[in-house]
Amino acid sequence: MQGVIKSYDPGTGDGVLINEADLADIDLAEDALEGSIFRMLRQGQRVNFDLDDHGRATHLRLGSEIDMGTPDL
């Protein structure tokens, strides 16, 4: 799955991304950055991700190299 970071708080690790397929907001799992190259995220950054058993984004990986910005809802 691919999406765009909508918000991210590096202090708490809380964040939300927008699923590219249906524009739904998806919360980041607590372990979303574990084992990834990311140390922090920025708004508009494209990422590939998986969903955990609770429907949260996890296993973040690099998305498209082009920063598409946050989609207008």
Q: Global pTM? A: 0.81
Lookup result for tokens 């691919």:
2
Per residue in 13-72, pLDDT (tens digit) is 899 999 999 999 999 999 898 888 888 899 999 999 999 999 999 999 987 655 555 555
CATH fourth-level superfamily of 2-62: Nucleic acid-binding proteins (2.40.50.140)
For residue 21, give Cα distances in angstroms to 12, 36, 53: 27, 22, 19
Residue 9, CB-side half-sphere exposure with 13 Å CA sphere: 7
The residue extents of the domains of the chain are: 2-62
